[in-house]
Amino acid sequence: MATYDDILQTIGRTPVVRLHRLAPEHVELYVKVEAFNPMGSVKDRLAIGVIEDAERRGDLKPGQTVVEATSGNTGIGLAMVCARKGYPLVVTMAENFSVERRKMMRFLGAKVVLTPAAQKGSGMLAKARELAETHGWFLARQFENEANADIHSTTTAPEILADFADLGLDYWVTGFGTGGTLKGVARVLKEHSPSTQIVVCEPDNSGLLGSGIPQARDEAGQPAGSHPNFRPHLMQGWSPDFIARLAEEAADYIDMTVPVAGDDALRCSRQLALQEGIFAGISGGATLAGGLQVAAQAEPGATILCMLPDTGERYLSTTLFDDVSADMSEEELDISRSTPLARFDAPPPPPKDGEKPKVVEPTPAAEAEVEELIADTAQPVVMFALEWCEFCWSVRKMFAAAGIDYRSVDLDSVAYQAGNRGGQIRAVLKGHTGWDTIPQIFIGGEFIGGCTDAFDAWKDESLQELLKKNDVEFDQGFARDPYSFLPAWLHPR
């Protein structure tokens, strides 16, 4: 272990892990877990490789905007590198890649420009190129930038050589998107470990390299339209609709291409998690599926290494998690019902005497404070709230969206904790409204109830009437169902 000067120094040096339950007995099957990179994918390597190469060449000036077309992981890696180094980043990405990816890039400060799914990978590429030309931005060009392959030659490949120095490596199995991993690693293995077979996996319905059909290119060398064999597939990050320059250049190193079915990719990704405790994405499952095909025909004692390009966490919204429910299964319900506590189908047991909460008495000061707050004509909308309660947050979101100005009195906030001022106000409210629950919302001194009462009042328009009566402005055009502001777990089942 070491301390690092910055996060970028933690890129690479990912672990190679042996599989036990998933590996056939006659071979030694290993995976290289690229999810150990700081942003969870192999593309962190490319991001630092391409950016630092451009800095060295003077192609990227301090503060210049970086732009790139990406299926997500490159954008996430670039977003990390650009955040650290202070470059603005614009990413173009087809709308069909997972939502997690977009949100992560935006969280890291990047701008994400979506492109129509129908225009596939080449659509997002053309958009990035156009933006770079129009605005004078630095285009990372991952599909043809030699720095992409080079970073794998200088990091991924030597790591593999070192890790298998004693064991020897018979098969190295990968997929390809840009072909950066493939070209960069394969050429080093061919030189320093010539007996290692280079195995390239492709979606079975979308064999591009395996087809032998070359990619059509325009005068500038850019792909001229989709490859004729391309079909949509679910291995996000693999085989775009064209053969990238770097992948094409790796063709001579390839000993075997292996077609992988989508169902096998999903199954292997799930099996990795279930049987080995390794959480990898769909392309990792696909690479393992290819590795298992190789293993089935491999000589006894063969060593096989499969690349796992990213983490499974990037696919929560995708078909990989289709069978994983957010609700309890029958089996889980049975476990819940097998003991008496904390169940949904039985009321909580009455508190034992010693556990009864102390009754808080309303104080005259708290009485006066509540009176003053709800009678304040300068702010007729008052919500007595808890700072992080999700019902309170739903009301806040709805009020903000409807342009309703309000005062939130947060009874459990630091300001209200001293001397249990919040508890005393709550006791006063209980005396006034008879309600124990929070939030409690008042408009012009009139109690309208809690969160769902406010939402219902909006729906039957009595809330709007009350707002008008008290001269409170709001957005007349606000038409969203207020219930949609509740967090998912609070939606009625």
By CB under 6 A, tell whether 309 contacts ligand PMP: yes
Q: Which stretch binds ligand PMP (CB under 6 A): 179-187, 191-199, 325-333, 431-439?
A: 179-187
Residue nearest to ligand PMP (CB): 237
DSSP 28-77: EEEEEEGGGSTTSBTHHHHHHHHHHHHHHHT-S-TTPPEEEE-SSHHHHH
Element of type H or E holding 18: strand 16-18
Give the separation between CA 74 and CA 237, rounded to whole angstroms: 9
Assess 156 for contact with ligand PMP (CB under 6 A).
no
Residue 238, interface with ligand PMP (CB under 6 A)? yes
Which window, 12-20, 169-177, 226-234, 446-454, contacts ligand PMP (CB under 6 A)? 169-177
Q: Which backbone phi and psi does 297 adopt, to 5 degrees?
A: -110, 0
Decide whether 73 or 293 has the Cβ nearer to ligand PMP: 73
Catalytic residue among 98, 269, 283, 394: 283
Query: Which residue, 235 or 404, is less far from ligand PMP as judged by CB?
Result: 235
| Contact call for residue 422 and ligand PMP (CB under 6 A) | no
| CB of 213 vs ligand PMP, minimal distance in Å | 19
Catalytic residue among 43, 120, 127, 183: 43
Q: What single letter denotes the amino acid at residue 20?
A: H
Taking CB under 6 A as the rule, does residue 203 contact ligand PMP?
no
Question: Quick check: 12 binds ligand PMP (CB under 6 A)?
Answer: no
Please tell me whether residue 96 adopts helix, strand or coil conformation.
Answer: coil
Q: What span, in angstroms and rounded, lies between the C-alpha atoms of 86 and 265?
A: 37
311 makes contact with ligand PMP (CB under 6 A): no
Which residue in the set 12, 38, 49, 180 belongs to the binding site for ligand PMP (CB under 6 A)? 180
Chosen residue from 14, 37, 65, 71 binding ligand PMP by CB under 6 A: 71
- Does 406 contact ligand PMP by CB under 6 A? no
182 near ligand PMP, rule: CB under 6 A: yes
Where do the H-state alpha helices sit in 325-441? 330-337, 364-374, 390-401, 414-417, 421-433
**Which pair of structure tokens corresponds to residue 12?**
């690479």
Residue 262 engages ligand PMP in binding (rule: CB under 6 A): no
**Residue 281 touches ligand PMP, criterion: CB under 6 A:** yes
Q: Per rule CB under 6 A, is residue 310 in the interface with ligand PMP? A: yes
Opening angle at CA 291, ends 287 and 293, nearest 5: 120
Count other C-beta atoms under 10 Å from residue 355's C-beta. 7
Beta carbons of 61 and 54 less than 8 angstroms apart: no
Residue whose CB is less far from ligand PMP, 28 or 68: 68
- Residues 6+ away with beta carbon under 8 Å from 200: 173, 174, 175, 176, 182, 209, 210, 250, 254, 256, 257, 258
Q: Round to whole Å and give the CA distance between 291 and 414.
A: 57
Query: Does residue number 121 form part of the binding site for ligand PMP (CB under 6 A)?
Result: no
Beta bridge partner(s), residue 174? 200
285 in contact with ligand PMP (CB under 6 A): no
Of 18-57, binders to ligand PMP (CB under 6 A) are 41-43
Q: Does 175 bind ligand PMP (CB under 6 A)?
A: yes
CB closer to ligand PMP out of 123 and 177 = 177
Cβ at position 393, least distance to ligand PMP in Å: 34
Rounded CA gap, 253 and 436, in Å? Answer: 72
The yes-or-no answer on residue 103 being catalytic is no
With residue 262 as reference, give the H or E element that holds it.
Answer: helix 262-276
Which CB sits closer to ligand PMP, 153 or 181?
181
- Provide DSSP, 187-207: HHHHHH-TTSEEEEEEETT--
- Nearest distance in Å: CB 128, ligand PMP: 14
- In the residue annotation, 32 being an active-site residue is answered as no
181 binds ligand PMP (CB under 6 A): yes
Catalytic residues: 43, 283
Q: Which residues bind ligand PMP (CB under 6 A)?
A: 41-43, 71, 73, 175-182, 236-238, 281, 283, 309-310
